[in-house]
A and B are shown apart, each in its own frame.
Chain A
């Protein structure tokens, strides 16, 4: 019942895509997830992609139609949205979600309803592991973002090149929010950081509704590490501000996802100066020829730089449109096999999905030549890129209160 195919004439066409992604009004008690911009960035990135594709003539000459729905950061609302979209609106695919718990709840529905589903903001390893365990049945889900293990790999590669080699750091404390995406992240970080030259002294996990981070920073400081490796997405403003206000003498790197948006400077009153975070792309850095034009288009439309989920969603919609065009069909199985043949240079790098043999089935192929992420650091109020070294437009710089190890001068 894909009406999209049956309509042979001009618009209006039924919706092609739907995003159960926006998180507008949420209750504190029901959900610890409070960061709206990741959901808004998903919707904004999708709107720009659809507008751009339609401006160029749409898919096979037909415009895409996008309908956006807010899942309220709740798995229950997301599931009913998903069902409504597939059964009533006959959408061709569903794109979005930045909360792993919600994405994991939707995957069985993509399986049951044979609905192509591209996850563009959530990171849990379980998303692609789910597909891997029963590929034939569950092949409809694609993880168009990095699993936590790949995020950790990015953090470790950057730690090796910048923190260890360039800055002579030797020890780290991992401080992570307690959420589905950070469990595999921490496991991977514990494994790969030592290989990158950083000994992990301790892993501190905290509840996402923590407001006073003083005890956490004090505990980290008492161990005397060179750097804090963060695993933060649901939180960001408070720990960053308290880190700066309390002049915690430890460098702050890792993943501080909220720091990826330019709105973070004003939100923290500039306390984010010196904070480094892994992101999928950086403003003013041409990871690919598409990165800067998209970033500028986004800033023009929305007044802030795109958060990570805007880049991933923008790319995912292009990947999906290309797959439908290649398949010359919107039938789920045809779209899925076309998606599997994706080889597309997007805003974040070259995108391919891993096959059923990989334990990360249908996750993005990660590594040099594909997508690696970039590390951005706030310097004098702007986001600079400090990694990968071939794309870097700045050297790492930290605020005066951060104690840096002495550089090995002998060699």
Chain B
């Protein structure tokens, strides 16, 4: 019984972690950007979903749609206002560009956090669930929302795989991640590829933000922790590797769930952090890292 509980609970939370970190690794893989405003984009989506769905009474579906739209808008604004100007600036030496992008997105994330705190306060809120009720799985009463989250997360992962492997636009994304210079040589405008990547990133982050907000709640104060968790999972999986990210999300999710059930809920995060340290020490490229 306990084993089934751990399996189910761990599966849902891991799927959510995978989705939450997916966009982060995608944008690194395609454009080499470590977007430290990631948590801010997740929380913006969730906050907008709550504002439209609950506070203004728009309903769960309208709220969720608005949340995803907010994710896309924030992603494009992040790219257009912060990342692109730094990448194109002639004043910044090439070798330092990544560092500037890193700092730029970090500060941008802090700005969004302060703005959200000002508009919505730091009071935690929860996004209304799209499905309610509970489902009995092998005798374990499970919130239908958890099942829904797992299904949506895997559907998004599947769609991303199809997009990357089966469509021309997706192949360009893949090519940009492997050899951007060659891509420009065959006549592809790298800017368009980056714009597409940030668009996809916005959708994924928007969905992840709304789902996170409906399961775990959200607040502007959660932003640094969300960025941190996504970063940790992506480092564990190997920077830029989508499948590595999914594996790492499941490792972290199950490790946390096992600890919470078998040791103590107070110790939940500890073993995963120790594992992260160990990976950084013994296998710095991560589980499926390319370097």
Q: For residue B5, which residues in chain A have a CB less than 8 angstroms away from its CB?
A: 218
A269 touches B134 (CB 8 A): no
Q: Chain A: which residue is nearest B216 at the CB level?
A: A211
Select A34's contact among B219, B228, B269, beta carbons within 8 Å.
B219
9-residue interface stretch from A13-21, A164-172, A241-249: A241-249
B126 within 8 A of A: yes
Contact A205:B266 (CB < 8 A) given known A237-B126, A245-B143? yes
Q: Which of B9, B55, B142, B225 contacts A266 (CB 8 A)?
A: B55
In the assembled complex, A5 has its CB within 8 A of some CB on chain B: no
Q: Using Cβ atoms and an 8 Å threshold, which residues of chain B touch A292?
A: none
Is B283 an interface position by the 8 A CB rule?
no
Whether A215 contacts B261 by the Cβ 8 Å rule is yes
Q: Which of B55, B128, B145, B219 has the most CB of A within 10 A?
A: B219
CA distance A207 to B219 in the complex (A): 18
Q: Which residues from B are CB-within-8-Å of A271?
A: 126
The yes or no answer to B132 lying at the interface (CB within 8 A) is yes
Q: Min CB distance, A53 to chain B, in Å?
A: 28
- The smallest beta-carbon distance between A147 and chain B, in angstroms, is 24
Tally inter-chain residue pairs, CB-CB below 8 A.
Answer: 114
The reply to whether the CB of B181 lies closer than 8 angstroms to some CB of chain A is no
Report which of A205, A215, A269 forms a contact with B54, defined as CB distance below 8 A: A269
A249 to chain B, nearest CB (A): 9
> Which residues of chain B have C-beta atoms less than 8 A from A207's C-beta?
265-269
B260 interface residue (CB < 8 Å to A): yes
In the complex, are the beta carbons of A267 and B124 less than 8 A apart?
yes
**How far, in angstroms, from A205 to B267 measured CA to CA in the complex?**
10
By the criterion CB–CB under 8 Å, are B123 and A37 in contact? yes
Q: How far is the CA of A216 from the CA of B128 in the complex (A)?
A: 22
Near B by CB (< 8 A), chain A positions 210-265 give: 210-216, 218-219, 236-238, 241-242, 245-247, 263
A178 located at the interface, meaning its Cβ lies under 8 Å from any Cβ of chain B in the complex: yes
Q: Which of A22-30, A138-146, A326-334, A355-363 contacts B (4 or more CB under 8 A)?
A: A22-30
Most buried by A among B54, B124, B134, B141: B124
24 A-B pairs (CB sep. < 8 Å): A24-B117, A27-B221, A28-B222, A34-B219, A37-B123, A207-B268, A209-B225, A210-B268, A211-B216, A211-B217, A212-B215, A213-B265, A215-B9, A237-B123, A238-B124, A245-B129, A245-B143, A246-B141, A247-B134, A247-B141, A266-B55, A267-B123, A267-B126, A269-B126
- Which of A's residues lie within 8 Å of B, judged by CB? 24-29, 34-37, 40, 178, 204-207, 209-216, 218-219, 236-238, 241-242, 245-247, 263, 266-269, 271
Residues of B within 8 A of A (CB): 5, 9, 13, 54-55, 114, 117, 121-129, 132-134, 141-143, 145, 215-217, 219, 221-225, 228, 256-257, 260-261, 264-269
